[in-house]
Chains A and B, each alone.
Chain A
Amino acid sequence: QQQVKQSPQSLIVQKGGISIINCAYENTAFDYFPWYQQFPGKGPALLIAIRPDVSEKKEGRFTISFNKSAKQFSLHIMDSQPGDSATYFCAAPQDDKIIFGKGTRLHILP
Chain B
Amino acid sequence: DGGITQSPKYLFRKEGQNVTLSCEQNLNHDAMYWYRQDPGQGLRLIYYSQIVNDFQKGDIAEGYSVSREKKESFPLTVTSAQKNPTAFYLCATHPLTENQPQHFGDGTRLSIL
Contacts and interface: CB of A to CB of B under 8 A. Distances in A.
Interface string A28-70: 0001101010000111111001010000000000000000000
A97 B42 contact: no
Given A31-B98, A41-B107, A46-B101, A96 B50 contact: yes
A76 interface: no
A88 to B, nearest CB: 11
B59 interface: yes
B72 interface: no
Nearest to B59: A1
A91 B104 CA distance: 14
B40 A44 contact: no
Contacts of B45: 97
Contacts of A42: 106-107
Contacts of A109: none
B112 interface: no
A51 B43 CA distance: 22
Given A32-B99, A51-B99, 7 more contacts: A34-B101, A41-B106, A41-B109, A43-B6, A44-B104, A45-B104, A98-B102
**A contact patch SS:** loop
B48 interface: yes
Contacts of A44: 43, 90, 104
A13 B42 CA distance: 21
Nearest to B90: A43
Contacts of B48: 96-97
B62 to A, nearest CB: 17
B99 A31 contact: yes
Given A45-B1, A97-B48, A103 B42 contact: yes
